[in-house]
Structure 1
Amino acid sequence: MKSIKTDILVIGAGSAGLSMAAGAVQMGARVVLLEGHRMGGDCLNYGCVPSKALLAAGKAAQAQARANAFGVGGAAPEVDYAAVMAHVQDVIATIAPVDSVERFEGLGVQVIREYGAFISPTEVQAGDTVITARRIVIATGSGPLVPPIPGLDSVPYLTNETLFDLRTRPAHLLIIGGGPIGMEMAQAHRRLGARVTVIEGARALGADDPETAAIVLDALRAEGVEIVEGALAAEIRGSAGAVEVAAKDGRVFKGSHLLIAAGRKSNVDRLALDKAGIETTPRGIRVDDSLKTTNSRVYAIGDVAGGLQFTHVASYHAGIVIRSALLGLPAKARTAHIPWATYTAPELAQVGLTEAQARKKHGARLEVVRHEYAHNDRAIAERATSGLIKVMVVRGRPVGASIAGAQAGELIGLWALALANNMKMSQIAAMVAPYPTLGEVNKRAAGTYFSPRLFESLWVKRAVRSVQRWLP
C-alpha cells in the first residue's frame, strides 16, 4: 500500500472537481485528484455538452424546415441520426483535452485514476494508495435518478448516460420527466424526425415561472411534441422496440424507446462517508454555508452538495472553497444570484425569485414589470417574437427575473449581475444597448418600470411646464 500526503485532495474530476483542482494547484497548493470513471464527469460526457450538441443539430434541421418563412426554399430535412450522434461525439472530443489527465498533470496536479473511499476522517483510499490531506473536497457529482416504477427493471430504458450511445433514431421516444433534460431531449428528437411523448407526473417545467414556462411548452406542442401533464407513471411494460407506460389514472402511452429523465441523485454510495463522520440528507451531503460537511476538514461542492445542480454552480462552489481552504478567508455560498436556463427554443431562464415567490415574500411592495419580445425589432426580423421578460422589483431593485424567448440564457446574465451586486433598476435603465439586438429586451424592461413614473406623473408634467416657461 502506497501513502501520499497532500494539501488538497479532490474526489471527482467533473466540473466542480476540475475547477477546484486547477485553482488550487495554480495558487501553490499540493493537489491530488481522484477519478475512477471519465475525466470531465457528467457535464462533458453525458450532460451539458452532448445535449447542447444534439440541440444544435435539431436547430439546423428546424432552420431548413422553416426556411420558407424567410423567402428561402424550404424542404423537409434529411436526418442521418448516426451522423448526428457522430457530431455529438466530435464536440465532446474537441472539448475533452481541456479536462484531460495530461492537462491537469501539466498544471502540477497528481491524478489518480481510481475511485476514492474514506478510511478515516482525514484519509481516503484509492486503489492501492492511501492519501492523507489537510483538506478534502468531495466533488463526485450526480447521476440519473431512476424511480422505482414497477416493471422498469425488466424493460430496456435510456438515461442521459446511455442516450448518446444510440445510432438509430427512435421511431417514438417516450420520456418520463418534464424537467429541463426531458424537454430539451424531447424537442431535439422531434426536430430530428422522431415522434415524442413526454409523460410528467405533475407540471412540466414545474420549477420555473408558470407563465414563461407556458410559452416554451406551447412552442414545443406546436412543433409536434406531445406533452402530457398530471400523468404519474405507475407501471412499465413491453420489450425492446415496444414499450408501454401506464399512468396511475389509467392512461397508457406506447412507444419504441423509453428515456428516464425524472431527476438526479447525488453520487455518494462509494465514499464510505460514515468512516469520516460525514452526514447526508435525502438530496446529498449535508453542508453549511461555507460548504463544509459535518467533518470540518472536508468540503462538498457541486451536485453532490445537494443544492442547485448546474455546472456553473459547481465552478462557483470551487471558488468559495478555494477562498476558505487555501487562503483561510471567510466565504459563504449564496443562491439568490444564481441563474439557470433550459435550452429549448424558445429558451427559458430564471434568476432570483419567481413572481409567485416574490409575492409571497414581499407582498404589496412587489412590482412586476413586463416586456414582450413582439415589441423587439430584432426578434421581429428573425421571426422569434414568442417571448416575454418579467422582472420582479422591490423598492427600485430587482429581486428576480424570468425570461422565455430567443437567447433567454444569454439575456439572464444581466439580471444575475444586478442581483449579485444589489443594483438598482436605474442602473439597468442607464445602459445603452446596441440596436437592433435582443439585448434591448432588458433595457426596455427597465424602461417599463420607469415609464409610469415619468409619463403618468402629474408632478413631472407640472415641472416640465414650469421649466418650459422660464427657458429662453
Structure 2
Amino acid sequence: MTKIKTDICVIGAGSGGLSVAAGAAQMGADVVLLEGHKMGGDCLNYGCVPSKALLAAAHKAHAMRQDRFGVTGGPVTVDYAAAKDHVADAIATIEPNDSQDRFEGLGVRVIRAYGRFTGHATMEAGEHEITARRFVVATGSGPLVPPIPGLGDVPYLTNETIFDLRETPRHLIVIGAGPIGLEMAQAHRRLGCAVTVLEGAKAFGKDDPELAAIALERMRAEGIEIVEGAMVASVSGGAGEVTVTTKDSARFTGSHLLLAVGRKVNTNGLDLHKAGVEIEHGAVKVDASLRSPTNRRIYAIGDAAGGMQFTHVANYHAGLIVRQILMGLPARARTDHIPWVTYTDPELAQVGLTEEAARAVHGDRLAVVRFPYAENDRAIATGQTDGVIKVMVVKGRPVGASIVGAQAGELIQTWALALANRLKMSAIAAMVVPYPTLGEINKRAAGAYFGPKLFDSPMVKRIVRLVQRF
C-alpha cells in the first residue's frame, strides 16, 4: 500500500470538493482529491446540468406549439432521443472543466477510488493510505429511495437514471412534487408524455404557497395531473405498466415511475466513526465553521454538512473552507442570504424568509411589498405577465424575497446581494435599471415600499407646499 502525506485530503469531486481542491492547490497547498465515481458529481452528471438541458428542449417544443404574437403554432415532432443527445452534449461540453486531467494540471493528486477513514488522521482509498493535516468531506447526496411496499419488484427511475432513458415514456408517474419532481414533470409533459405527479403533502411545500399556486396553475393548465395529499401505500406491476396505490385506495397507472421524494447524504462507507466524527441525520455534524466538533481535522461542506442541498451552497462552503484552512482566518456559514430556484415555467425563486416565516419572526414590524409582472412593460411586450414579486421588509431592510415568473432565478440575485450585504431598500430604489427590462420589477418593488411613505404622508405634503412658496 502506497503511503501519502498531504496538507488537505478532499473526499468527493463534486462541485464543492472541486472548488476546495482547485483553490487550495493554486494557493500552494498539497492536495489529494478522492473520487470513486464520476468527476463533477451529481450536479454535472445527474442534476443541475442535465435537467436544465432537458428543460431547454422542452421549452422549445412548448413554444413551437403556441399561437402567439401573430405566429401560428402547430404540431411538433419531438425526438426524445435527440433531446437526450442535447443533454449529453451539454454535459460533455462542461466536463473538461471538472476533469481529472485539469485538476492534475493544477497540481492536485487525484485518486479514483472511494475512501474510508481508518483513524483520526488517516484514510484508505484503493491501494493508498493517506495521512492529512485536514480532511474535507464533500461527498454530496443521492436520491432517496423510500421503503414503499412492492418497489423492489417494480422498475423505477431516479434523477441518476432518467437521463439515460432513450424512449419517450407514454405516461410518467412522478412520486414527489418538489423541485426535481416538478421540473421533470413539466419537461416530460412538454416533450409529449402524459404525466401524473403524486405528493404526500403540498406541492412546492418549501415555497411561498401563494406564489407556488401560480406556478402550479400553469402546470396543470398544460395537462400535468398534480395530486396533493396522495400518500403512497404501494406499487405494483412491471415494465411498461406500473400502478401506484395511495393510502386512500386511489390507483394511478403509467408506463414509467420516477422517484423524486428527497435526497440522502452520501456518508455510508466512510467509516466516520473510526475518525471520531459524529453523524446527525445522516450528515456530518459540524459547527458554524463547518468543522467537526469531535475531530478538528475534519470539515464537511455542501450536502455532507446537512442543511440546504444546493450546488451553490457547496461552492459557498468551499470558499469558507479555503479561507479557514489556507489563510487561517475565521469564517462562519450563514443561510439567511442563500437563494434557491425551481426552473419550471414560470420559475419560482426564494431568498431569505418567506412571508409566513417572516411574520412568525417579526410580527407587526414586518412590511410586505408586492409588484406584479402584469405592470412591467417588458413582461407585457413579451407576453410574460404571469408572476409577482413579494419582498419582506423590517425597518427598511429586506429579510426575504419571493418571486414567481419569467427569469425569477435572475431577478432573485438582486435580493440575494441585498441580504448578503445587509443593504437597505433605499439601495435598491436608488439603482438605475435599463428600460424596458424585467429587472425593473425589483426596483418597482422597492418603490412600492417607499411610495406610501412619500405620497400618503401629510408631513411630506406640507413640506412640498412650503417649498413651493420660494
Q: Place the TM-score, normalised by the shorter chain, in its bin.
A: over 0.9
Distance in 2, Cα, partners of 1:338 & 1:427 = 19
CA distance in 2, matches of 1:153, 1:277: 35
Number of residue pairs matched by the alignment: 469
* SS of residue paired to 1:53: helix
Partner of 2:276: 277
What residue number does 2:89 align with? 90
Matched with 1:200 is 199
CA–CA distance in structure 2, aligned partners of residues 397 and 350 of structure 1: 16
In structure 1, stretches of 5+ residues that fail to align are none
**Partners of 1:205 and 1:285 in 2: how far apart?**
27
Query: CA offsets, 1:153-212, max 9 Å, x none?
Result: 110000000000100010000000000000000000000000000000000000001011
Partner of 2:297: 297
In the alignment, the residues of structure 2 paired with residue 195 and residue 221 of structure 1 have an alpha-carbon distance, to the nearest angstrom, of 12
SS of 2:296's partner is coil
CA distance in 1, matches of 2:257, 2:46: 17
Query: What secondary structure is seen at the aligned counterpart in 2 of 1:401?
Result: strand
**Secondary structure of the residue that 2:404 maps to in structure 1?**
strand
> What code does the residue aligned with 1:145 have?
L
Counterparts of 1:171-210 in structure 2, within 5 Å, are: 171-210=170-209
Q: Secondary structure at the match of 1:389?
A: strand
Alignment pair present for 1:51 and 2:51: yes
Match of 1:419 in 2: 419
Alignment partner, residue 448 of structure 1: 448
What is the alpha-carbon distance in structure 2 between the residues aligned to residue 219 and residue 123 of structure 1?
53
Q: Give, in whole Å, the separation in 2 of the partners of 1:222 and 1:377.
A: 25
Describe how 1:211-290 pairs up with structure 2 within 5 A.
Answer: 211-290=210-289
- State the Cα deviation string for residues 288-343 of structure 1 (Å, max 9, x = none): 10000131100010111111000000000001111111111111100000000000
Question: What residue in structure 2 maps to residue 73 of structure 1?
Answer: 72
- CA deviation map 1:35-75 (0-9, x unaligned): 00000000000000000000000010011011x21111211
Q: Is 1:106 paired with 2:105?
A: yes
SS, match of residue 438 in structure 1:
coil
Deviation at 1:84, TM superposition (A): 0.5
| 2-structure distance, mates of 1:282, 1:335 | 18
Which residue in 2 is equivalent to 1:155? 154
Tell me, in whole angstroms, the C-alpha distance in 2 between the residues paired with 1:147 and 1:111.
34
How many Å apart are 1:266 and its aligned residue?
A: 0.1
**1:8, distance to aligned residue in structure 2 (A):** 0.4
Do residues 435 (structure 1) and 435 (structure 2) align? Answer: yes
Contact 2:267 2:282 in 1 (8 A): no
Tell me which residue corresponds to 2:346.
Answer: 346
Identity of aligned residues (%): 68
Give CA-to-partner distance per residue, 1:405-442, whole Å, 9 cap, x none.
Answer: 00000000000000011110011100011100000000
Q: Distance in 2 between matches of 1:41 and 1:353?
A: 30
The reply on whether 1:392 has 2:382 as its aligned counterpart is no
* Matched letter for residue 328 of structure 1: G
Asked if structure 2 preserves the Cα contact closer than 8 Å seen for 1:283 and 1:307, the reply is: no
| Mapping for residues 26-37 of structure 1, pairs under 5 Å | 26-37=26-37
Aligned to 1:310: 310
| 1:214-249 superposed Cα distances (whole Å, 9 cap, x missing partner) | 111111011111100000111001100000110111
Letter in 1 for 2:241: A
For residues 226 and 70 of structure 2, the distance between their equivalents in structure 1, rounded to whole angstroms, comes to 31
Kindly indicate whether the alpha-carbon contact (under 8 Å) linking 1:10 and 1:31 is maintained by their aligned counterparts in 2: yes
RMSD: 0.6
- Asked if 1:117 corresponds to 2:129, the answer is no
Residue ranges of structure 2 left out of the alignment (5+ in a row):
none
Letter matched to residue 303 of structure 1 = D
State the SS of the aligned residue for 1:70.
coil
Match of 2:375 in 1: 375
- CA displacement, residues 97-137 of structure 1 (integer Å, 9 cap, x when unaligned): 00000000000000000000000010010011001000000
> How big is the shift at 1:283?
4.4
Q: Matched residues in 2 for 1:164 and 1:435: separation?
A: 39
CA distance in 2, matches of 1:383, 1:153: 46
